[in-house]
Structure 1
Amino acid sequence: MQAVVLAAGQGTRLRPLTDDKPKGMVEVAGKPILTHCFDRLIELGAEELLVVVGYKKEVIIDHYDDAYEGVPITYAHQRDPKGLADALLTVEEHIDDDFMLILGDNVFEANLEDVVRRQRERRTDAAFLVEEVPWDEASRYGVCDTNQYGEITDVVEKPDDPPSNLVMTGFYTFSPAIFHACHLVQPSDRGEYELSDAVDLLIQSGRTIDAIGLDGWRIDVGYPEDRDEAERRLEDAEGEATADGEATADGEPDVEASPDA
């Protein structure tokens, strides 16, 4: 499966960290956010990385060149920051089947594999990793409504009055049907071509989009304090893994033996 990484943003809220680099190149726990994204996508079986670049794109291209860990990278240039739907259209010519999409300013320690598995097993038109957030934070995100079957029935981008507290997290799988919807999107009140509007068009046309609840955590690195929080969580996770490994090496069982063993 191919994987698309959206990494064209300027990261103005991360300044001064992004004065000389795009936000995907801001380091978290010693490596760029994009490296965290690439590692997860390769774990999920990505056979090609399609990276959408824009602001200071040469920093990304010079760092990764044409491959990462043996996986080829294809770059597409979003010349003007006109929204995620516009960014996605820059890779349309390179996509020939279902694909993964990740926002390149997110750090995940979560069940991304469940989203990919749902896309492969059910051949849905899309599957999203979604998260419940406090109601007072929902208006910062694309907010979803779902039906009794766990299918997304509505998506609203950054609403003043959120219909739910279930939000999109920045990891998706899509069929190529999303591109036709992106072509039909009109500029929002923010003047951007919103991915959520393209998703809404898919829903209106009768396409099926499954919601997969987040198990784990993710940090949208939008501010310097978000970077600090992501580093703290990664360090905690590494410490727990080290402690578990040491316990096993010392002969402590990692599962309880049955009485009949």
Structure 2
Amino acid sequence: MKAVIPAAGRGTRLRPLTDDRPKALVDVAGRPLLSHGLDRLADLGVSEFVLVVGYRKEAVIDHYGDAFADVPITYVHQREPKGLADAVLRAESEVDDDFLVFNGDNVMTGDLGGVVERQQIEGVDATLVVDDVTRDEAAETGVFVTDDDGRLDAVVEKPDDPPSTRVLTGLFGFDPEIFHACHLVQPTDRGEYELTDAVDLFLRADRRVETVSFDGQRVNVNTPADRERAAQLLDQS
């Protein structure tokens, strides 16, 4: 199973650390931020990394070359930061089977193997790794809503008034049909194409979307404070 890793961000909230390097190469606990995610994916036995690069892409390509931990790397280019759905679409020509998507600025501990196992079940179209957070945290990311029977009903991106505190973690499994959904996504007011909107289209098309509860700890590194928290998490693991 291949893994698509969006890693094209500028990391503006991490300045001045990103003044001379892309966000993916910002040091976290003595190693580039992206390397921690690649380690976790290599542990899952992925067959290939598809890195979506953009800002200062040459630095990422020069650093990682053709492989990481003996897993081959293919690079695709996202010219402008237009959201995760757009980033995933950059990898469409490189993927022809079920695959993972891992947000490249995540640092995660714990067992991640459940997403691979669930996505490999016949008939599963998408697998979302989900976590319980505070309401303030829920307002900053994608939350999912269940119906009266407890089934996944919708995904809402960055709600002002979160309808739940169950959120997406930035790790997904997808059938290649997700690319079609990404093509149908409409831009937000910010001009971004959200991956959560593509998942919502999957749900409305009665695709089989499963969830796996995350049992570890994670930090989405966006600010210097997040960077410090991620380093502490890695030191403790």
TM bracket, shorter-chain basis: over 0.9
Q: In the alignment, which residue of structure 1 is the partner of 2:93?
A: 93
Q: In the alignment, which residue of structure 1 is the partner of 2:116?
A: 116
The two structures have a TM-score, normalised by structure 2, of: 0.96
Distance, in Å, in 2 between the alignment partners of 1:74 and 1:162 is 37
Q: 1:151 to 1:20 in 2, by over 3 A?
A: farther
* Larger RCO (CA within 8 A; separation ≥ 6): 2
Aligned partners of 1:150 and 1:210 also within 8 Å? no
Q: 1:149 to 1:28 in 2, by over 3 A?
A: farther
Q: How much does 1:148 deviate?
A: 7.1
How many residues are treated as equivalent by the alignment?
237
Q: In the alignment, which residue of structure 2 is the partner of 1:248?
A: none
Q: How much does 1:233 deviate?
A: 1.4
Partner of 2:143, secondary structure, is strand
Aligned partners of 1:134 and 1:165 also within 8 Å? yes
Q: How much does 1:236 deviate?
A: 1.6
Residue 213 of structure 1 aligns to which amino acid in structure 2? S
1:224 aligns with 2:219: no
1:21 aligns with 2:24: no
Mind listing any 5+ residue stretches in structure 1 that lack a counterpart? 238-261
1:78-227 equivalence runs, <5 A: 78-147=78-147, 151-227=151-227
More helix by share: 1
Distance, in Å, in 2 between the alignment partners of 1:151 and 1:98 is 23
Q: How much does 1:151 deviate?
A: 4.4
Q: 1:145 to 1:71 in 2, by over 3 A?
A: same
Distance, in Å, in 2 between the alignment partners of 1:134 and 1:52 is 30
Identity %: 55
Aligned partners of 2:8 and 2:55 also within 8 Å? yes
Aligned partners of 2:178 and 2:202 also within 8 Å? yes
Partner of 1:79, secondary structure, is coil
Mind listing any 5+ residue stretches in structure 2 that lack a counterpart? none
The two structures have a TM-score, normalised by structure 1, of: 0.88
Distance, in Å, in 2 between the alignment partners of 1:150 and 1:50 is 34
Distance, in Å, in 2 between the alignment partners of 1:235 and 1:88 is 31
Aligned partners of 1:151 and 1:208 also within 8 Å? no
Please provide the CA RMSD for this pair: 1.3
Partner of 2:37, secondary structure, is helix
Residue 137 of structure 1 aligns to which amino acid in structure 2? E
Q: How much does 1:122 deviate?
A: 4.5
Q: In the alignment, which residue of structure 2 is the partner of 1:242?
A: none
